[in-house]
A and B are shown apart, each in its own frame.
Chain A
Amino acid sequence: MLIEFICNGKKINIDVPADMRVLDLIRDGLGLTGTKCGCSKGECGACTILVDGLPECSCLLLAPKLQGREITTIEALERPGGKLHPIQEAFLEEGAVQCGFCTPGMILSTKALLDVNPSPSVAEIEEGLSGNICRCTGYTKIVKAVQSSALKLQGAEI
């Protein structure tokens, strides 16, 4: 079926099978492989994207559901000229990235959290990122990266 949606600011018109997962649409159909598949069951959060600004596991979402909506994937965060998004910078600087497989999802969950809650408490960070599993870091540096992202974003707004 034909669907129309916005992906990373760009209007997409595409014919998709009704049972296609959004994860496969973005990875295979649109070639955006920054979104990862870790479990296909909505358990690990590696495939997190933003749908109308809210984090969703793209492995659980069927492509027709995107009709008329707007999605953001990790590829949208880097700014023109190669400047990293403040959240990306923070993850890098704080050592919140090890193997990096959970990172795109982790960064998008962070963005969704900070978009609605610019200075979250530790408990709120835990809640916001509880759907994203990381096996490498032990999460301590991820929490620091979220806090540092919040400061960077506040600074950027001033």
Chain B
Amino acid sequence: MKKQNLSQVGKSVVKVDGRELVTGKAKFSGDFKFPELLHGYACRSKIAAGYIKNIDISQALKIPGVVDVILPKDIPGNNLIGVLPPHDQPILADKEIRYAGESYCIAIATSVKAAKAGAKAVKTAIDPITPILTIDEALAKSARKIHPNGNITISKNLIKGDCEKAFAEADIVLEDTFETSNQEHAYMETEVVCAEPFGDGRVTVHASCQSPFHIRGHIAANLNVPASKVKVVQAYTGGSFGGKDDAATEIGSLAAIAAVKHGKPVMISHEREESIVGSTIRHASRIHYRIAAKKDGTITGKEIKILLDGGAYAAESPFVVMKALIHSAGPYKIDNVKVESTAIYTNKTYCGAFRGFGVPQVTFASESMMDELAKELKMDPLELRRKNALKPGELNATSQIFEESVGIIETIDKVIEINKSYQLPAKEPERYLYGTGFASMYQGISNGAEGIDVVGASVQAMQDGSALVSIGLTELGQGSRTVFAQIAAEVLGLTMDKVIVKHVDTDSVHDSGPTVASRSTTVGGMAVFKAAGEVKKSLLKMAALMFKTEENNIVLKDNFAQLVFDEKAKIPLKDVCVATYWTGFPLMNLSFSKAPEANYDHDNTQGNIYIAYNYGTHMMSIRIDKLTGAVKVLKHVAVHDAGKVVNPKAFEGQVEGASLTGLGLAHLEKIQYKDGVIINPNLSDYAVPTIKDRIPSETISVETYNPTGPYGVKGIGEPPVSGAASSFANAVANATGIRFKKLPITRQDILKAIKK
């Protein structure tokens, strides 16, 4: 890592919005008060598939307080959600029900209670049809088509080298099939929006959301007005993890339609059950994995077939398919790779983005196979990983080469070192089983193959010596506002208290694309860095005039412009800002950061996809109670190469939080269906980890310098999910001697298996 002399970047600082949050003053969407507020409550299908024959709203309209029931025909625009082609998802189901929980009309009333009563009074006739509930049912030759084009949402291939030859010539070939279950985001704040109509024909939507500009476009399309007629204001958002795109679009559009129709503000706030059944969840998967290797442990080929159960609609399946495809071979140098990644429609809740975005599923399969190969070769699992790990300058699975910032070997070495000095306890061996598991992973940073990646950000120096940063990427709890403030403070020589990062509203910040793909710090940070750099030029020019010297004799530091050779000679930056303004030098700049576009062969997915990768290796040691199957995590080490870390405390927070979500995926959380209906849509039957389930994560960063991010940064939001989930699975295998091939590996599963 290159030495950098930094005063804000790299320092643990408190969240810039933390004070509002700990005092309860932060306004989330449901906290706003509006006069004459109306509320919406949707009617949802109780069955998984059927044809809507009739919807009778007459009784509903008689309920006191009910002012309207909005039906598909009342939607002025296209009645569509889908962020991506094939644009197959209606906001309100029109003729066909494709999953249990799908909404087909929404009651609007003067209170939540009345809206609920109204929704309940709607009489609906739905002719049930046999739902298609599994991948196999969907792919059966005689299967009913869930959508006109069939039951395959999308399928993509990755082909590198000659897999056939690699497998023919291999010393060892292993193969197996792995499965993962759906996972619910379970952010603590459900989806909430409030639309407010204005006299000028515009509508403002306050939303708990992740990507306000996406939502704006969809709301406008459903209102059948240009996007400029809609303003989306992101309220404080109580977690998202990928989940507040599609659902926020759905209810944002419905609230806006009702608000415009009635000339009154309309709030729609999902109940917990609606948040689970009626918004995206993580794709369930089935992955067939073949691996070819030489006796010395060199992996020569991987052949992988990924099937993602995406539920009733495409949503973000096309992108998740790509991400799974690209990452399935793992952070290794493998000359021959052949992957097919396919998303399937079934009559279940639709799947979309969830922290990790297809990578946790494929990493579980990949890293389970790595351990099986190590066992077969009688090799140390970490040595096997190290032997095959990517080095700078080598081709990854898409044949992309990074000359710098490929830190996978550093992460493995760190884990080797820690593992050497760690002794698994051996207490009460008659009662407990002990084991340690490892997993290596990587995750692309930036939109990459999923779209053009541009961020617009502006920085304005104000005459009181502070700076105002605006950017269209959203704070969801991950701490991005703080990171942007740190970068602006670093460039302009300000202390953190002098930087304000605006809340996002689509009227006052620039479109910055979606807040996804662990891209905020890298691509967003670069835009802030550039804009602040331009403002800095004005300040230096002014300070040079004031000091009667050259610009390169001046540094901006601790809220002062000071002479390089005499620290005592300094002018407060606020005075420099005032003078800059009166002299007519610009105090504000809008800059763009555009990631180099993905450039690859679309048939074989070969070429340059992402601007960087985060690399990681996790180690997890566990103790299993043979009597109950209960697992206790004794040690968890998460080593990541996330480039330069901007805010170490927040970095740890990201790793700790994502790792526990990974443990949830691997051990605790399971969406349960009966006849296509989710039977555990609440937080007691669906086991989100509590404080008693937390794991003792130790976060270690091996910093490499990433040239595509400011100060060498990359990103950390998503990667630890895969590392924690996969190292857990390997720890269970190590402790029990049994390879579990399906996530979650619950306590009951373990107990059942060890009793055999």
Contacts and interface: CB of A to CB of B under 8 A. Distances in A.
**Overall SS of chain A's interface:** loop
B694 A139 contact: yes
Contact of A126 (B237, B691, B697): B691
Contacts of A91: 18, 22
A93 interface: yes
A136 B18 contact: no
Interface string B668-709: 000000000000001110001111101111000000000000
B24 A104 contact: yes
Interface residues of A, number: 52
Most chain A CB atoms below 10 A, which of B236, B653, B695: B653
Nearest to B22: A88
B568 interface: no
Given A95-B649, A101-B238, A138-B659, A77 B188 contact: no
Given A100-B26, A126-B691, A36 B656 contact: no
Contacts of B20: 100
A60 to B, nearest CB: 13
Interface centre among B188, B237, B238, B657 (most CB of A within 10 A): B188
A75 B25 CA distance: 8
Interface stretch (B159-167, B368-376, B471-479, B600-608): B471-479
Interface string B488-530: 0000000000000000000000000000000000000000000
B22 A101 contact: no
Nearest to B27: A33
Given A33-B27, A103-B22, A138 B660 contact: yes
Contacts of A40: 271-272
Contacts of B237: 99
A99 B188 contact: yes
B28 A140 contact: no
Nearest to B190: A38
A44 B656 contact: no
B749 interface: no
B684 A36 contact: no
B33 interface: yes
B43 interface: no
A30 to B, nearest CB: 12
Contacts of A132: 691
A64 to B, nearest CB: 18
Nearest to B654: A98
Contacts of B188: 36, 38, 44, 46, 99, 101-102, 133-136
Contacts of A67: none
B601 to A, nearest CB: 39
Interface in A101-143: 101-104, 107, 125-126, 129-130, 132-143
Given A77-B23, A100-B21, A135-B661, A140 B271 contact: no
A35 B30 CA distance: 11
A88 B216 CA distance: 35
A138 B695 contact: yes
Interface string B639-658: 00000000001101100111
Interface of B: 12, 14-15, 17-28, 30-31, 33, 185-190, 236-239, 241, 271-272, 476-479, 649-650, 652-653, 656-661, 682-684, 688-692, 694-697
22 contacts: A27-B31, A33-B28, A43-B272, A46-B188, A84-B23, A91-B22, A93-B14, A98-B479, A99-B476, A100-B21, A100-B26, A102-B238, A107-B22, A133-B683, A135-B657, A136-B477, A138-B656, A138-B657, A138-B660, A140-B696, A141-B652, A141-B653
Interface of A: 27, 31-41, 43-44, 46, 73-75, 77-78, 84, 88, 91-95, 97-104, 107, 125-126, 129-130, 132-143
Given A100-B477, A132-B691, 12 more contacts: A33-B24, A36-B188, A36-B189, A41-B682, A88-B23, A95-B652, A97-B15, A99-B237, A103-B22, A129-B691, A133-B186, A138-B695
